[in-house]
Structure 1
Amino acid sequence: MIFQILIGLMGAMLLIFVLLDFLYTAIGAAPVPPLSQNVARVIWRLFTRLMPAGNARHRLSGPVVMAGIAFTWITLVSLGWTMIFQISDTAVVISETEAPAGFARDFAFVGHLLSTLGGGPLETESPVWLILSVLAGVTGMVILTLSVSFVLSTTTTVAQGRGLLTKASMCEAGSDEMTNVTLPALADLVANLNAMQFALYYSAEDPARRLPARLVDLARRVAPYPEQIRRLRIALAPLPGFHAPEGKTLDALSDDAFIARLDAWAQRYTV
């Protein structure tokens, strides 16, 4: 019994950790927490090493990372709830026989709840477990709803970035339009990228639509113009994960060193 309680407590801790990560990532509008960030990096490394070169590599990079993060959230939430239901052998029973369901069927029961399909051929009779099963169902509803919103916001950020950089290519590097319209809009894009960092993993078949690399191209275009490069540096400095070498600040870097640092940052998101 003590072992079962420990399993349940571990499940509750896992559930809280994953849900906080999910909520912070989906609606926090801030840099992503360690779980999501590390999962994205691992999936990205595996994808870039295993996926053959070609157009599909660019089309799938972002969706694969997003799908991997969602799969991790759903799997760990399901595991957390399943571990909680292990506290009692009769927490979940088979509807026809009322025999204990066991771990595998408990996992299936939780899956039904999280998908908002009900308990399937399994049920729980105790009021305490019934309340917990309702909470599991609510958890599933929240995850499904916010996941759709999160994916939509991420893809919207990708589209916004591609549109802005396409417009930037229409402007002369030293023009007033670049100075007063495009570069301030770039600051808005960077703010959105900080809230939706996984947008950086989206690539495209057309090199002109690859966001991180195009930021480097834009920096190189405006580098000969002091006012434009000054504004661009201000706009790009808050990019997620973009930092100066240890012991220095971005402000202290020369324009060439700043662009080189930006290029190194962009390589982390290059398929």
Structure 2
Amino acid sequence: MTPTTPHTVPVTVLGLGNLGQALVGVLLAQGHPTTVWNRSAHRAGPLVARGATAAATPAEAAAAGGLVVVAVLDHDAAREVLAGAGGALAGRTVVNLTTGGPEAARDLAALVTGQGAAYVDGAVYAVPQTVGTPDAFVLYSGDAAAYDAHRPVLDLFGEGTFVGDAPDLAAVHDTALLSGMYGMFAGFFQAVALADAEGIGAPAVTSALVRWLGAAADALPQFAQEIDRRAYATTTSNLRMNAVGLRDILAATEARGLPTDLLAPLLRLFEEQVAAGHAEASLSRTVESLRVPR
């Protein structure tokens, strides 16, 4: 595979939603010859005005680029588009930035490699406005040689990290990271609902919450070390203390007529660990009620 430089690689982008348009904007700003395709062809108009070339079909678009980037709605759409590109993918590198689970990544990898192309899966951590800025980062997995060959281009989208040769590893990381994100959102929604019940506006409670969550997040690297070592001794915030605290929070929530659906399952995990004799252990030991037994 011939090494590439950021200004010599023809790039194809399949999909012109918010992410796809942001990716194309970065490529055009860096002087790339960029071919685009989208099911709704009119979305290509503004990009063509900036220098992109519109293709009529996925196959035509794929044939124009040595690097083919896919950013569509979901796995089903990605599969349909890549199947439509067919033999035009041969000899190219496909980088799939469509959000999907590990099973989807394995399926798409099989489809792409079956057409004679290299497959790289990616998980983008950026809103469209931050693509191509230092705030964006992307995790990649799959064909390491293809990733290395095209890294000068891929790094234009955001700081890239290669997490392994298996095509589904970026999606595994993505599933884990987004699980943490949605858990944070769940706590936020519960917090503002509880404050609202007492007439406290969401902005007021959020200001303090953001500060507190930042401090709480500082504990996570230590928790991670405890979890990997399965060493849960602590002299600070143990499971008994947290079970009592969360029980009080849920009681106050119920007293205000609010549902406890978001946090009650966490209390059950705390109580399970306490009942198993781990009351004095670190809060991080809660993961033992979730992880696959070894």
- The TM-score bracket by the shorter chain reads under 0.3
Give the TM-score normalised by structure 1: 0.24
- Which has the higher relative contact order, 1 or 2, with Cα contacts under 8 A spaced 6 or more apart? 1
More helix by share: 1
